[in-house]
Structure 1
């Protein structure tokens, strides 16, 4: 592509780098090219602010910008906030050659990626090539961005005729548009055509994707496993393998595949969240915690920073604590408090306070301080928590369930979606978590109701030892429910199974009393009258 002699003199350029000497060197190269309108920024925040008030033709941004946003996060935020013109060229610069950084940036799709050091001639050559590509293929990109897929196909026809040099690039874009339109067979034929010319990685990947949508899963797996061995296509191949394993309900393989994917591309937040969710589904708390923490780290200073990310990490710690000894629980609770302290001043204090109450309530349940748990949840604004999103709703529902209040639990679960809003692996993983939580809880509630009915029938028949045994079975399955605690306590006051120990009897009575007396005061008249009728006889058994 031959540019007009004065082309660069008309271009507006932004250079973003935290090191003065490098910023000056790049600016000097641009001046040698003829650029006159050159702005600079020392960090991501400043660059973002400049872009709010000025449109640029070129942005040259270093990947590592010191404290705050990195170049990856800046580019992503500029795109999401629509602060880049359709024809703005964004070039990332870095001395890093680590695979994970290169893959992460390729996924983000800047116009080019320059490795340091580079010369004035190299810069000119790369900018010229990027300009040519943008100019020729721009009509297709613009149509796709506007969701005008028919317009994109028409642009493909036009460009193929006018610029045969780009025929293969256009074929690739046409196939991707066909996939967006659900025309998978046509896309598959295009990929086959490309593969006759050469074994393009993108064409083999596209072929595997069409096999996925055409439900030819064994064929897709064979291709993707081969592509996962190739550096160029490894990340994308692993992601599509994970999608297939989700379809096949092979959740352990999903987790294993995503672990490999995030090693290469750790800055992909949706994938980290998906891996965290699948790890939770598999009970792999260490991996889940690592992912939730990575999400916290990688969203700091970015447009993706969200209060729910912090509380997802907190609640994952609490979930893990449920499987640990008392000593380990104490350590985890200290860790939770440290996370909350560090996050407290970064978000709206009202919202933070309400979400903190949910976390504190779950911790109080584990510490068996039920009056604190009740107080926290009753003082919590359900409206504020619900407005925070699906994760917060699920966490509040779990807190009520663990406290034994199934009415509140079921009300909240009804607010959650019944199906995934998209096919993305993150959305699917969220939906599977909701489904699993709902299924497990509903099974427990159904079993509780069944055992409770059996226990009541035995109690009414005067078979007190038998009724106590049945209520005790239910109590071990779902502790902390007030109605069950009343039934069990009243039954114990009449009889205790001869095959159970006195120690269990003593512990159970104390737990029942704790549940009943931890209810908000004053107790409902009916509950109080019933408790009063057997309280003396019950407590006399453990004096």
Structure 2
């Protein structure tokens, strides 16, 4: 007992709980265990401040911390900002049973979950167990912290070779590292071996994940379907099924899988974001709006509480408005304008103005204000210099430029987005599938545009100017700011002997588009000749 007390005497521990009484209760138990250095924090913000000053050995954090960030949101921020040293033991405390992750220990999941109420002896046992596991794998976790996964594998081998009582923990960690290093055959062998020792849930899930990476889709799907029916592995199995279906470019099956898991974890930001993304691909835009609205609340106090998250709701409303009748569209755009004012109240304009202008440009296009849309996009480009653009922000720009007919800039942002979606995670996989969906849709629209334009040129060449006008007008409706089509339409209009009021208005609209856009230099002379032939 004395040696144990002297051991903890030199360790630092942080207790995070919103109850004064429980914090005091924790402190008294920790002092009995042998800790001398106990820091108390009443909420996540205070805990963050403490962690920026002190590299704690242990953190005991209640899951529910009142109205602000919860315990897991605090953990995410600490991990993201690298405020947890590799050997730190993070224990989540809750009055409700929390699901412990089966796969993903390489990402520094909480080390344990303590269910209230618990005794002094239970607290000491769990702290000691978490500490010994971390110490046994200390070199591996330090290597992971440095992103040196190959060295981490060697550290795990060292633990196994010395027949440590934590050899199976090392085996589990090593298998995940081998997957990360794309050494899939070795990972498969390790998981298969672990299953000969015992039917570990983590080994079965890891094996399914490995099958997926090996391209053995049928085996991966069958095993994941089986694991999704078991409470212990249901959430993660459905996550990996979603990834598998995305890799197979099957958004329907992916949406079905992620809808199931999203109901069980309404506060998981990235998972909900994947649901919203797949909903748009499947043309369930109302569902996407609902999910993004939920995310406004789910993201509060978390690392995802950003202007970009709020703009995602605005972007979802725009996608919804595109398919609505005029009355419903007007109501949606009014709702959108009101919501944009809310963002201005919460975040400094300088942090998101470059992205908001793109949203404004898309609104202008929906309202038929093409010239305004082009000016807003130009202003946005000036403000976005040296600014970080999120994947959602890049996709929004690509859509905006396509809608305004600037295909070169659309392709530019699609290319930039492609580079951003190479990360191996569920969110990037979903964004990547969305990008492919948009590219396919854009390609189909481009082909329709080319066909209509070609038909218009053919009709013009045969002297059927009325038919040419109809083809060019239909093409312009598909891409309302395309100056080349506007110029072709203007030329067809110029061949009519007299223009009625509707055609006169159409000609003036074409001129307005050409003035607002960027007509190629080699077309300027043609444009001036046409103007001289038109009596408007």
TM-score surpassing 0.5?
A: yes
Contact 2:243 2:426 in 1 (8 A): yes
Provide the residue aligned with 1:517 in structure 2.
512
Partner of 1:451: 452
Alignment partner, residue 301 of structure 2: 301
2 CA distance for matches of 1:85 and 1:387? Answer: 28
TM-score, normalised to structure 2's length? 0.88
- The DSSP-based 3-state class of the residue aligned with 2:509 is helix
Alignment match, 1:539 = none
1:1-150 aligned at under 5 Å gives the runs 4-97=4-97, 109-150=109-150
CA contact (8 A) 1:480 1:515 kept: no
Task: Tell me by how many angstroms 1:251 deviates.
Answer: 1.1
Q: Distance in 2 between matches of 1:70 and 1:4?
A: 32
Give the superposition deviation at 1:273.
Answer: 2.6
- Counterpart Cα distance in 2 of 1:104 and 1:161: 23
Alpha-carbon distance in structure 2 between the residues aligned to 1:522 and 1:7: 73
Taking the aligned partners of 1:170 and 1:142, their CA distance within structure 2 comes to: 14
Matched residue of 2:235: which SS?
A: helix
Q: Distance in 2 between matches of 1:269 and 1:391?
A: 14
Change (3 A) 1:236 1:155: same
| C-alpha RMSD of matched pairs (Å) | 3.2
Q: Is the 8 A contact 2:247 2:429 kept in 1?
A: no
Shift of 1:18: 1.5
1:279–1:240 CA distance, 2 compared to 1 (3 A): same
Partner of 2:353: 353
Shift of 1:110: 0.9
Q: Residues of 1 paired with 2:145 and 2:136: CA distance? A: 16
Distance 1:486 1:437, change over 3 A: same
Could you say which residue in structure 2 is the equivalent of 1:499?
none
CA distance in 1, matches of 2:343, 2:444: 36
| Change over 3 Å in CA distance of 1:235–1:70 after alignment to 2 | same
Aligned to 1:271: 271
**Aligned residue for 1:540?**
none
TM superposition shift of 1:418:
5.6
CA displacement at 1:225 relative to structure 2: 0.7
Distance 2:85 2:517 in 1: 63
Q: Distance in 1 between matches of 2:15 and 2:21?
A: 12
Q: CA deviation at 1:307?
A: 2.9
- SS of the aligned residue for 1:470 comes to helix
- Is the 1:370–1:403 Cα contact (8 Å) retained in structure 2? yes
Deviation, structure 1 residue 49: 0.9
> Could you tell me how far 1:45 is from its partner in structure 2?
1.0
Gaps of 5+ in 2: none
The one-character-per-residue Cα deviations of 1:151-205 (angstroms, maximum 9, x if unpaired) are: 3333333323444433332322232232223222222222222222322111111
For residue 431 of structure 1, what is the aligned residue in structure 2? Answer: 432
Distance 1:260 1:408 in 2: 37
**Residue-by-residue CA offset, 1:453-482 (whole Å, 9 max, x unaligned):** 432343243222332333244234333433
> After the TM superposition, which of the residue ranges 130-139 and 523-532 deviates more from structure 2?
523-532
Asked if structure 1 preserves the Cα contact closer than 8 Å seen for 2:102 and 2:233, the reply is no
For residues 192-238 of structure 1, what are the alpha-carbon distances to aligned partners after superposition, in whole Å with 9 as ceiling and x for unaligned? 22222322111111221222122221111111111001111112211
CA pair 487-321 structure 1, distance change in 2 beyond 3 A = same
Distance in 1 between residues matched to 2:416 and 2:86, nearest whole Å: 39
Task: Name the SS for the 1:165 alignment partner.
Answer: coil
CA distance in structure 2 between the partners assigned to 1:428 and 1:229 by the alignment: 24
Residue equivalent to 2:441: 440
Deviations 1:124-145 (A, max 9, x none): 2211221222222323333333
Structure 1 residues 158 and 18: CA distance shift in structure 2, 3 A: same
Partner of 2:262: 262
CA offsets per residue over residues 403-422 of structure 1, 9 Å max, x none?
33445444544544368422
TM-score, normalization: structure 1? 0.87
Further displaced range: 353-362 or 143-152: 143-152
**In structure 2, do the counterparts of structure 1 residues 463 and 212 end up closer, same or farther at CA, with 3 Å as the change threshold?**
same
Contact conserved, 2:273 with 2:427, CA < 8 A, in 1?
A: yes
- The answer on whether the counterparts of 1:308 and 1:388 sit within 8 Å (CA) in structure 2 is no
Of 349-358 and 238-247, more deviation after overlay is shown by 349-358
Q: In the superposition, relative to structure 1, how do residues 328 and 18 fare at CA in structure 2: closer, same or farther (>3 Å)?
A: same
The answer for the alignment partner of 2:402 in structure 1 is: 401
> Residues 285-338 of structure 1: CA distance to partner in whole angstroms, max 9, x if unpaired?
133223333444333333333332222221111011001122221221122223
- Partner Cα separation in structure 1 for residue 503 and residue 397 of structure 2: 27
2:280 aligned counterpart, secondary structure: helix
Determine the C-alpha separation between the residues in 1 that align with 2:37 and 2:142: 26
Q: Distance in 1 between matches of 2:397 and 2:27?
A: 53
SS, match of residue 5 in structure 1: helix
Contact 2:315 2:359 in 1 (8 A): yes
Match of 1:533 in 2: 533
C-alpha spacing 1:113/1:393, structure 2 compared with 1 (3 Å): same
Residue 392 of structure 1 is matched in structure 2 by: 393
CA distance in 2, matches of 1:522, 1:336: 26
User: Paired residue for 1:327?
Assistant: 327
In the alignment, is the contact (CA less than 8 A) between 1:358 and 1:376 conserved in 2? yes
Q: CA deviation at 1:513?
A: 3.4
Distance 1:356 1:147 in 2: 36
CA distance in 2, matches of 1:105, 1:413: 31
Partner SS for 1:90: strand
Q: CA deviation at 1:44?
A: 0.8
Q: Cα–Cα, structure 1 residues 531 and 389, in superposed 2: closer, same or farther, change >3 Å?
A: farther
CA 1:495 to 1:37, structure 2 compared with 1: closer, same or farther past 3 Å? same
Between the aligned partners of 1:352 and 1:531, the Cα distance in structure 2 is 41
1:308–1:392: 8 Å Cα contact kept in structure 2? yes
Partner of 2:472: 471
The separation in 1 between residues aligned to 2:432 and 2:30, in whole angstroms, is 50
Q: Is contact 2:243–2:429 with CA below 8 Å preserved after alignment?
A: no
Q: Secondary structure at the match of 2:449?
A: helix
**Alpha-carbon spacing, 1:102–1:405, altered in 2? closer, same or farther (3 Å):** closer
Find the aligned partners of 2:174 and 2:36 in 1 and give their Cα distance: 38
Q: Do 2:364 and 2:373's aligned partners in 1 also have CA atoms closer than 8 Å?
A: yes
Q: Distance in 1 between matches of 2:507 and 2:112?
A: 66
